[in-house]
Amino acid sequence: MLEAKLQEASVLKKLLDAIKELVTDANFECNEEGINLQAMDNSHVALVAVLLEAPGFKRYRCDRPMPLGVNLASLTKVLKCAKDDDECTIKAADEADVLNLVYEAKHTDRIAEYDMKLMDIDSDTLGIPETDYDARVTMASVEFGRIVRDLSLLGESVRIEVSKEGVRFASDGEAANGSVLLKPTEGVGKVPKKDEDSEEEQGEEANGDDEDEEQAEDGKKTKKEKTKVKKEKDTEDVEMEDEEENGNEDFKPEGDDDEEKNSDDEESGKKRKKKQANGTSSKKAKTASSSSKGKGKKKEKDDDKDFEGVIIELNQHVSLTFSLKYLVNFSKSQSLCGKVQLMMSNDVPLLVSYEFGQGHIRYYLAPKIGDD
Amino acid sequence: MLEAKLQEASVLKKLLDAIKELVTDANFECNEEGINLQAMDNSHVALVAVLLEAPGFKRYRCDRPMPLGVNLASLTKVLKCAKDDDECTIKAADEADVLNLVYEAKHTDRIAEYDMKLMDIDSDTLGIPETDYDARVTMASVEFGRIVRDLSLLGESVRIEVSKEGVRFASDGEAANGSVLLKPTEGVGKVPKKDEDSEEEQGEEANGDDEDEEQAEDGKKTKKEKTKVKKEKDTEDVEMEDEEENGNEDFKPEGDDDEEKNSDDEESGKKRKKKQANGTSSKKAKTASSSSKGKGKKKEKDDDKDFEGVIIELNQHVSLTFSLKYLVNFSKSQSLCGKVQLMMSNDVPLLVSYEFGQGHIRYYLAPKIGDD
DNA sequence: GTAATCTGGA
DNA sequence: TCCAGATTAC
């Protein structure tokens, strides 16, 4: 059986808002690690992957792996019946054909309970290839949303070009052409070496395979310490996505990270936002978050609420063209996290990743061919 | 070539919101004085005239007169891509077929650049007849908007009647008749004599013919000083539209204006709003604004944000009927200025004028015949 | 074609 | 703050 209690129903509500227009039905794959959802969009162009980690729940129990086939429109309706700050418990018996949702108001005695029909869905949980990316852009999620929405007024598709100067979003349309250039906040972005950076972790993590990641993580760390501090920073930033796994590394003195080692509090959090822009302190921020995660999830979640600046990590110049319609859709996830990461390599699908403390939502979108 | 930099893109955005439903394509006539736009509405019933004065720009350069034929829907889209507080630079090369717009975010490194196709438009820049008006009503733009929107719920057209008692907006509809009477805030409005008041300046200014106006102004002033202080005041209120030209009159002691001579600061600005309502201090307010304009356009612009009261200046009773649909459309400009002026004479088009510091937007609407 | 969401006005 | 028209998704 499954029983998972969320501190706030809002997380689930936002998640559904973020995917319901992309996918109609999907399996919530539940196991002891947490809950995974993976689905192609209705036109099989984009892939969305959601992870809710078990430790992120106020209470979590899942005796055996079970897929819960859910109609997302139905679940959205049911979740509309929850207030944002309600405690939300989802339950399903083994082999059950209903999902039980209980909403408990924080300060009153209201208890609402809903049963939603489940359905059988062919689980085409295609393993997501573990890709190394040549470019990673980290930016405010609202800004990303703004840009793709703006450009979608002009044209159908956008060319995203990452270079040392920054990242350029360009779209050509009937009436007008548009181009938005974001310069990296702290000069030139750090360039992670592909063979030793941590981007592969992202692919691994997308598979929810924690043990492997932890080991890979250790391996990388060793490499990193052998190589350059600069790479460290880049890598650590990625590790944010592995918070649970590398918690043992918290506060470990590494390179030039020292000055913000204890940035657990609000004050240093503010500093961090600025510092984060240089791709250095972000590591510590993440590490600190990682440790604080067990204690106070809320703080962790708000970590990147007001992310500012643009971090560009580049191994190789990339230029790819994507359908704006999908990117606009992806950007709905901005309510979940103030920060978004765009991972790109030439001729492979773009990965758009939002991390929100209890997990992540990731979108994969194949580039348009011809690069026009 | 043209290169014009606006401190805030919002001005342009609001202007386009105000006219895009009235006109589909229009020429932006650029010359060293600034940018003019003049166009009939799509059904050739109303005329809209926009002026953006060169000094109102943060930077302005226009080597030679050039018309930029713009599709307003396209421009609206492109302007949607600007944040309100972005710095906005519009550029066009001589004989160019594209308009280049650059948005620079105030505090970040975002630079967005858009190229919009231009088109050839027959420039039917009909000289607007320089009309003397028998009545001028100055009121809060939100109030005007509210009244015409209210009445548009009842009927198709509105009869606007200006008399000593005030201004009446009356509409007859199927289900109900409505009538809104606004009394002048300070009892009876001052009545400018037609032959010596300044309303004709407005018509002249609409043509951008500054020299003539200045002379006319001087002539009037002479007459006014011969006649009554009261008329003076009325005249000065109009001169707000000629701020650049009559700057030499600033702070000139005249009649009972003394007490607010130096009302350049915020505090006296508030006082002014109240006093303005009696149609007396409005003169001083305008004069003060006139001088402040050269130094600090911003303050001038906010001058009438919270305009209160109703000023009626009347030479002769007027009663005219207009289509509410258009007036509702005109009232969209209320976001540009807290104050609106309605200028009327029997059987000639109504002039609805919004001044916003960097220029104005004016609408002309022919009355319905039969006065029903 | 219908329904839901979003923006702008009351 | 709530309601309605407009836009967009299904």
CA→C1' distance for B297 and D8 (Å): 41
pLDDT value, residue B188: 52
Q: In what helix (H) or strand (E) does residue B13 lie, and over which residues does it extend?
A: helix B9-19
pLDDT tens profile B117-145? 999 998 777 777 778 899 999 999 999 99
> Where are the domains positioned within chain A?
2-116, 127-372
Contact A92, A100 (CB under 8 A): yes
Q: In what helix (H) or strand (E) does residue A355 lie, and over which residues does it extend?
A: strand A350-355
pLDDT value, residue B305: 73
Q: Which of B143-147, B192-196, B276-280 has the highest mean pLDDT?
A: B143-147
B112 contacts A179? CB cut-off 8 A: yes
pLDDT tens profile A164-190? 999 999 999 988 999 999 999 876 555
- Mark which residues 75-94 of B lie under 8 Å from A by CB: 77-78, 80-81, 83
Q: How far is A79 from A24, CA to CA, in rounded Å?
A: 15
Contact A57, A4 (CB under 8 A): yes
Task: Indicate the Cα dihedral angle B128, B129, B130, B133, nearest 10°.
Answer: -110
A180 contacts B111? CB cut-off 8 A: yes
Superfamily name with CATH number, domain A127-372: DNA Polymerase III, subunit A, domain 2 (3.10.150.10)
Burial letters for A342-371: b for 16+ Cβ neighbours within 10 Å, e otherwise? bbbbeebbbbbbbbbbbbbbbbbbbbeeee
What single string gives the DSSP state of each residue in B241-300? GGTTTTGGGTT---GGGGGGTTTTSHHHHHHHHHHHTTTSHHHHHHHHHHHHHHH-HHHH
A150 contacts B80? CB cut-off 8 A: yes
Alpha helices by DSSP H, B138-198 = 141-152
| Secondary structure (3-state) at B128 | coil
Question: What is the band of B187 on the pLDDT scale with cuts at 50, 70, 90?
Answer: low
Chains A & B: contacts with CB separation below 8 Å: 57
The average pLDDT across A243-249 equals 36
What dotted CATH number matches B2-117? Answer: 3.10.150.10
Q: Is the CB of B80 under 7 A from strand C?
A: no
Q: In this predicted structure, which of A85-89, A125-129, A148-152 has the lowest mean pLDDT?
A: A125-129
Q: What are the residues with a C-beta under 7 Å from any atom of nucleic chain D?
A: A 20-22, 24, 42, 325
CA distance B114 to chain A (A): 4
Q: Which of A301-315, B78-92, B184-198, B277-291 has the highest mean pLDDT?
A: B78-92
| Secondary structure (3-state) at A187 | coil
pLDDT value, residue A154: 92
**Residues in chain A within 8 Å Cβ distance of B114:** 154, 176-179
Superfamily name with CATH number, domain A2-116: DNA Polymerase III, subunit A, domain 2 (3.10.150.10)
pLDDT value, residue A301: 43
pLDDT value, residue B239: 36
Question: What is the band of A296 on the pLDDT scale with cuts at 50, 70, 90?
Answer: very low
A180 contacts B74? CB cut-off 8 A: no
pLDDT value, residue B126: 72
pLDDT value, residue B85: 87
Q: How far is A83 from A351, CA to CA, in rounded Å?
A: 31
Contact A275, A268 (CB under 8 A): no
CATH class name, domain B135-365: alpha beta
Q: Which of residues 320-359 of B touch strand C (CB under 7 A)?
A: 332
Mutate to test the interface with A, among B70, B71, B79, B110 (most CBs of A within 10 A): B110
Contact A365, A45 (CB under 8 A): yes
pLDDT tens profile B193-219? 444 444 444 434 434 344 444 444 444
Q: In this predicted structure, which of A90-104, A279-293, B64-78 has the lowest mean pLDDT?
A: A279-293
Mutate to test the interface with B, among A169, A179, A188 (most CBs of B within 10 A): A179
Strand D nucleotides in reach of protein CB atoms, 7 A cut-off: 9-10
Dihedral pair phi/psi, residue A368, rounded to 5°: -75, 140
Q: Residue B290 corresponds to which tokens in the numbers above?
A: 């006139």
Question: What is the band of A369 on the pLDDT scale with cuts at 50, 70, 90?
Answer: confident
- Mark which residues 138-177 of A lie under 8 Å from B by CB: 143, 146, 150-151, 153-154, 166, 175-177
CA distances from B191 to A258, B48, B133 (A): 77, 28, 12
Question: What is the band of B241 on the pLDDT scale with cuts at 50, 70, 90?
Answer: very low
Q: In this predicted structure, which of A276-285, B10-19, B216-225, B310-319 has the lowest mean pLDDT?
A: A276-285
Residue B4 CB neighbour total at 10 angstroms: 23
Q: What is the DSSP letter of A264?
A: T
Q: How many CA atoms, within 13 angstroms, populate the side-chain half-sphere of residue A153?
A: 20
Nearest to B109 among A150, A153, A185 (CB): A185
